[in-house]
Amino acid sequence: LEAWGDLTGYGRWQLAQDGNWVDITYDWRVSADKPLLRWFSFIMKPIFAANHHWAMRQGEASLKLELKRRWEGTAVAPPPPTFSYWIRKA
């Protein structure tokens, strides 16, 4: 996958069979091209890292709920996005 905009670079998925399981790795290599982001990256890096870790925890929790829902066959819907007011309604 290619990224462009505030960040430019690429992401690469790697899937490897491991018995009955599949190991998935995503390598995400991006850099800031916008001068403002580049100049203040030393200040912003901890903020971006904290936001990334928060987003990954939220994604892991939602993925676990969805897998449990599918495994148990329940019809309970997963929680909505945290910042749903940013999502355009069709």
The pLDDT of residue 16: 96
The pLDDT of residue 25: 94
The pLDDT of residue 70: 85
> In the chain, what are the domain boundaries?
1-33, 40-75
List the chain pLDDT tens, one digit each, 90 residues: 898 888 899 999 999 999 999 999 999 998 888 888 888 888 888 998 999 899 899 889 888 888 888 888 876 676 676 666 556 665
The full 3-state SS of the chain, as one line of letters, equals: CEECCCEEEEEEEEEEEECCEEEEEEEEEEEECCHHHHHCHHHHHHHHHHHHHHHHHHHHHHHHHHHHHHHHCCCCCCCCCCCHHHCCCC
The pLDDT of residue 36: 84
